[in-house]
Amino acid sequence: MKLLRYGAPGAERPGLMDDAGQIRDLSAHIPDIEGEALSPEGLARIAALTAEDLPLVEGQPRLGPPIAGTRKFLCVGLNYADHARETGKEPPPEPVLFAKAVSAISGPHDDVEIPRGSDRTDWEVELGIVIGTRAKYVAEADALEHVAGYLLVNDVSERRFQSERGGQWTKGKSHDTFGPIGPWLVTRDEIADVQALDLWLDVDGERRQTGNTRTMIFGVAHLVSYISQFMTLEPGDIIATGTPPGVGLGMKPPTFLREGQVVTLGAAGLGVQRQRMVLA
């Protein structure tokens, strides 16, 4: 299934995308796409519904973040060896973790703000994992059982704030709108091999990133298991799994986003995002 949320910011309603690419309203069956709805039982109840019997949503409403109630937005740094090299770093011996503020979450086509004082706002197309059931000290062999599904993430970053303003990476990752997710949550059963997904990103129609999840240093199951050794993962938590090469920081010379530019990104089976850059 492709689950989504549509409507004005703060007033989104739950829905799903039917086989014809039309939005169907789910609000008579679930209050939102969060919590118990993301469990295997909750997803099975939604899957048992007949899409054609659900109310059709007319027009082209705004798509919001496809899940609600996220308490942790975790990210994995330098998880593609070629991206690590383009930033001048060696591939890490174990996953590099950092947090992105949940207030950064935005819809897949919402404008992205360039922060005040920013001159190094950058792009990062990523596969996102959405947790469906509580995970604590899980074995790698069991890790995917705790995953509700996957979504597309643009891990927008301000490189000067990230690397030159002291502390860890959170300041460069957490500005409002720096976490576009969606357009939908694709349930795990729809992805035949999560370690074989193509990813891409364009800036003003020019291809900047091309990659595939097969070149991740640490795969999805390993990441879920690994992170669960340090903290409990809860339904709705998001793990952004790292970006392939082609970020602005790695270009020669480094190139960053400007007001008015448009970023478009996608991943096989996970849909496409489109964001216009605006000044905060």
| CATH for 218 | 3.90.850.10
Shared domain check, 97 and 197: yes
Shared domain check, 204 and 159: yes
Shared domain check, 28 and 136: no
pLDDT at 86: 77
Cα separation, 36 vs 40, whole angstroms: 9
Shared domain check, 161 and 83: yes
Shared domain check, 160 and 28: no
Shared domain check, 152 and 47: no
Residue-wise pLDDT for 242-251, tens only, equals: 999 999 999 9
For residue 110, tell me if it sits in a domain.
Answer: yes
For residue 62, tell me if it sits in a domain.
Answer: no
Q: Tell me the pLDDT of the chain (280 aa) as tens digits.
A: 999 999 999 999 999 999 999 999 999 999 999 999 999 999 999 999 999 999 999 999 999 999 999 999 999 998 998 777 777 778 899 999 999 999 999 999 999 999 999 999 999 999 999 999 999 999 999 999 999 999 999 999 999 999 888 878 999 999 999 999 999 999 999 999 999 999 999 999 999 999 999 999 999 999 999 999 999 999 999 999 999 999 999 999 999 999 999 999 999 999 999 999 999 9
Please state the three-class secondary structure of the chain as a single string: CEEEEECCCCCCEEEEECCCCCEEECCCCCCCCCHHHHCHHHHHHHHCCCHHHCCECCCCCCECCCCCCCCCEEEEECCEHHHHHHCCCCCCCCCEEEECCHHHEECCCCCEEECCCCCCEECCEEEEEEECCCECCCCHHHHHHHEEEEEEEECCEEHHHHHHCCCCCHHHHCCCCCEEECCCEEEHHHCCCHHHCEEEEEECCEEEEEEEHHHECCCHHHHHHHHCCCCCECCCCEEECCCCCCCHHHCCCCCCCCCCCEEEEEECCCEEEEEEEEEC
For residue 184, tell me if it sits in a domain.
Answer: yes
pLDDT at 135: 98
Shared domain check, 132 and 33: no
pLDDT at 153: 98
> What is the tally of structural domains in the chain?
2
Cα separation, 193 vs 56, whole angstroms: 31
For residue 61, tell me if it sits in a domain.
Answer: no
For residue 68, tell me if it sits in a domain.
Answer: no
**In which domain, by residue range, is 171 found?**
73-279
Cα 236 off chain centre by: 12
pLDDT at 84: 76
